[in-house]
Amino acid sequence: AQTVTQSQPEMSVQEAETVTLSCTYDTSESDYYLFWYKQPPSRQMILVIRQEAYKQQNATENRFSVNFQKAAKSFSLKISDSQLGDAAMYFCAYRTLNTGTASKLTFGTGTRLQVTL
C-alpha cells in the first residue's frame, strides 16, 4: 500500500519570503500522480499543483513549484513571495495510475502554514 509522509506539522514564513514544504511517499509503482492540495479555514480542498511521475520536469504554477525526486520518492512544494492568503493546511497526495488498483487519493497528515507580516 502506498503511504505519504509529511514530517512538518507546522511551518511559518514571513510575507514575501519563500518556504518549502516537505513530502515523501512510498510506492512500488512507476506510474502515478502527486498533488499538493490547500485547505484554508473554509475547509474547501483546493488543488495547488500536480506532477505526473513520468515527467522529469518539475511542475510550476505561478508562485508554486515542486521539487520532484522520483528516485528519492520526494515531492516538496516551494511557495515563493508568500502572501497572507497562502496561510492554510497543505496536504500532499498520491494517486496510482495502475488500472488494476482502485484509484483513490492517499493523503499525508498535512502541514499547517502560517504567514506572518
Partner 1 sequence: NAGVMQNPRHLVRRRGQEARLRCSPMKGHSHVYWYRQLPEEGLKFMVYLQKENIIDESGMPKERFSAEFPKEGPSILRIQQVVRGDSAAYFCASSPDRAFGGELFFGEGSRLTVL
Residues making contact with partner 1 (CB under 8 A): 33, 35, 37, 42-45, 47, 50, 52, 91, 95, 97, 99, 102-110
Minimum Å gap between C-beta 117 and partner 1 is 25
Minimum Å gap between C-beta 19 and partner 1 is 19
Given the complex with partner 1, which of 10 and 81 has the nearer CB atom?
10
Q: How far apart are CA 94 and CA 9, in angstroms?
A: 18
Q: Are strands 105-107 and 111-116 parallel, antiparallel or unpaired?
A: unpaired
